[in-house]
Amino acid sequence: MNRKSVLIAACTTFTMIAGAATGAQINNYPAGVGSLNELELQDLARTMIGSLPEDHQKIIAKEGGIGSEMVNLDGFTRNFEGRDLSHVPRNITALEYADILLGGGVRDELAEHELNIVNNIATLMDEGKEVPFMCFSPDTNPKYAYTVNELLDYQFVEMENDDSRFQQGNRWSRTAVDGNGLSQGDVTTITYSFVPDGTFVPNSGLGSGNSTLFAWLDSRYASTAIWQGLFEQVFDRWAELTGLTYIHETNDDGSNLNGAVGIVGTRGDVRIAAFNYPADGNGGVLAYNFFPNDGDMAIDAFDTFYNNTTNNSLRLRNVISHEHGHGLGMEHVCPANQTKLMEPFISTAYVGPQLDDILNGQRHYGDPQEPNNSLGTATDLGTYVDSGFFNINEASIDDNSDVDFYTVTVTDRTKITFVVGPNAGTYQQGPQTQSCNSGSNTNYNAIHDLKLQIFSFSDLFNPVAEVDATGTGGSETIVYDAEDPGAYLIIVSPDTNTNNIQRYLASMILSPLPPVVCPPDLNGDGQLNFFDVSAYLTAFGNMDNVADFNGDGQFNFFDVSAFLSEFSAGCP
């Protein structure tokens, strides 16, 4: 029996409920349904389909069964948007590809358990099963890590794409809170849950087992709350840097790991487990994680790497952060010089996501100010009298169509100065290689030519000021004297068509405008009338310096004429 037949057999009971016969009508009951009980069963099927493993959902959806309209088949697509897969041969099995990777003496340099894991992974892929990406302890043989990484690309070869950046794969297109239809740059809410001990973890090349997450970490830390707080710190940091929001789903029904979609009140989008990998031993693979729309994580429980809990358990936190990077759609990146979280080998030289990882995350999920690409969703920088300062540290134009809107309100005459500049840098990055010591130099400060505009809310069609004085990679400064109190709109946009991310830093400085000077308002009441004329004539008769309107040191007709001219013109 082939794999598809097995899966079809596995979900036969549900398929009977769902009416998965070919030709079922989407969004309507199929012809011939006349029983209220049947209608109720179909409603039940629509409710239940989201709790099935993804393979079962795909089969039902492809067959057009009841509940198909609840399944987004695109959401199950897994590929690497920019991964170069030219190294993966076509028309061979995964085991045959593994033999190629182990050639050239590599087989002789790997330990027996490492060879077993490579073969296990290849066997699983030949059976049509998805295998997650893994992170490795710092002392792992680089050739072993490279062989595993290259082999894992086999499962994505049919979806090759040449637009390389950040070693980036697909992002979440569906979550329990947001539903379906999420795409590049969209803010996203991800729920996470901790699976109960005993939850079955299927074989992903490292063996199968039952989760011992709570038993392991409860014995390591004083309480469950302490170690769960470490996970929360990791998710909070990703949220601080991107347009992601995380919610701890306190329920988890213990469904088998990998494949059960997130459901509010039942289980998280990201489910976290731990078990002692039977095929790996100590060291080697520290954890693995599935890509969106799965995102489940399995840590190697009781590995001595985690015994060191210094620096607030930095080892564990960086493993979690790295693995969740895979769960956000990120691949391994080289060179392994301890500058990037998504390098294959865990490092304690930093805490959490670094520049390359931040660019990767913001490219997929936007920056922390998102969604702010319209007037209705603009980021409010606050209300000020006539002075103030606001710094925007984590912001980006995540593609060639992204536009960022900011609003500010002033209650007095104010000079508005807004400065924006690239906030990335030039560094090496590239796909994982056998030695993981190379990559391409890319200047991520020179992706977009940024443009600034200021609008008054009294006229949102015509800017009161705009600037695009520098080219790609340059900083821009816009200055506007807001004589009229009120709300103003500031827009940051790309004046280039590069479909890539430009991270930037922005600062707004507000300062009071000089007092309005109106020489003919001699009595200082802010109005020009008879009393000012009277005051001038008195000053002129007394030869007061204030009456010397042309400033020549004499009091004559020319001073009177100058006064009357400015009086007629009115105050600014």
Confidence of residue 113 (pLDDT cuts 50, 70, 90): confident
Q: What angle do CA 82, 293, 44 make, to 5 degrees?
A: 150
Q: Long-range contacts for 3-9 (Cβ within 8 Å, ≥24 apart)?
A: 3/127, 3/128, 4/59, 7/55, 7/56, 7/59, 8/59
Radius of gyration, alpha carbons of the chain? 32
Give the range among 295-304, 333-342, 515-524 with minimum mean pLDDT: 515-524
Kindly report the average pLDDT of the chain as a whole number. Answer: 84
Locate 399 and state its tokens: 């593609």
- Helix extents (H) in 467-507: none
Give the range among 243-257, 446-460, 519-533 with minimum mean pLDDT: 519-533
Residue 481 confidence (pLDDT) above 70:
yes
Residue 169 confidence (pLDDT) above 60:
yes
The architecture that CATH gives domain 375-512 is Sandwich (2.60)
Boundaries of CATH 3.40.390.10 in the chain? 188-365
Residue 425: half-sphere exposure toward Cβ, Cα within 13 Å: 9
Unique residue bearing structure tokens 């988890």:
252
Phi first, then psi, for residue 392 (nearest 5°) are -110, 105
User: Which amino acid is residue 157, in one-letter code?
Assistant: V
Higher pLDDT, 555 or 377: 377
* Contact assessment for residue 286 and residue 165, using Cβ atoms and an 8 Å cutoff: no
Strand, helix or coil for residue 466: strand
Whether omega for the bond prior to residue 293 falls within 30 degrees of 0, making it cis, is yes
Locate 41 and state its tokens: 């069963």
Q: Single out the residue of 158, 131, 162, 499 nearest to residue 288, CA to CA.
A: 131
**From CA 24, how far away is CA 380, in angstroms rounded?**
49
Q: What is the mean pLDDT of residues 546-572?
A: 87
Please write the tens of the pLDDT for every residue from 423-442: 999 999 988 888 888 888 98
Residue partners of 267: CB distance under 8 A and separation at least 6: 193, 249, 251, 252, 253, 255, 260
**From CA 567, how far away is CA 572, in angstroms rounded?**
11
Q: How many CB atoms lie within 10 A of CB 364?
A: 29
| DSSP 8-state code for residue 246 | E
| DSSP 8-state code for residue 163 | -
- Looking at CATH, the fold of the domain delimited by 188-365 is given as Collagenase (Catalytic Domain) (3.40.390)
Beta strands in 290-387 (DSSP E): 297-300, 379-384
Boundaries of CATH 2.60.120.380 in the chain? 375-512
Phi first, then psi, for residue 563 (nearest 5°) are -65, -50
Residue partners of 513: CB distance under 8 A and separation at least 6: 386, 413, 414, 415, 481, 482, 483
Percent of the chain with pLDDT over 90: 53
| DSSP 8-state code for residue 123 | H
Higher pLDDT, 174 or 117: 174
Please write the tens of the pLDDT for every residue from 216-258: 999 999 999 999 999 999 999 999 999 999 999 999 999 999 8
Residue 58 confidence (pLDDT) above 60:
no
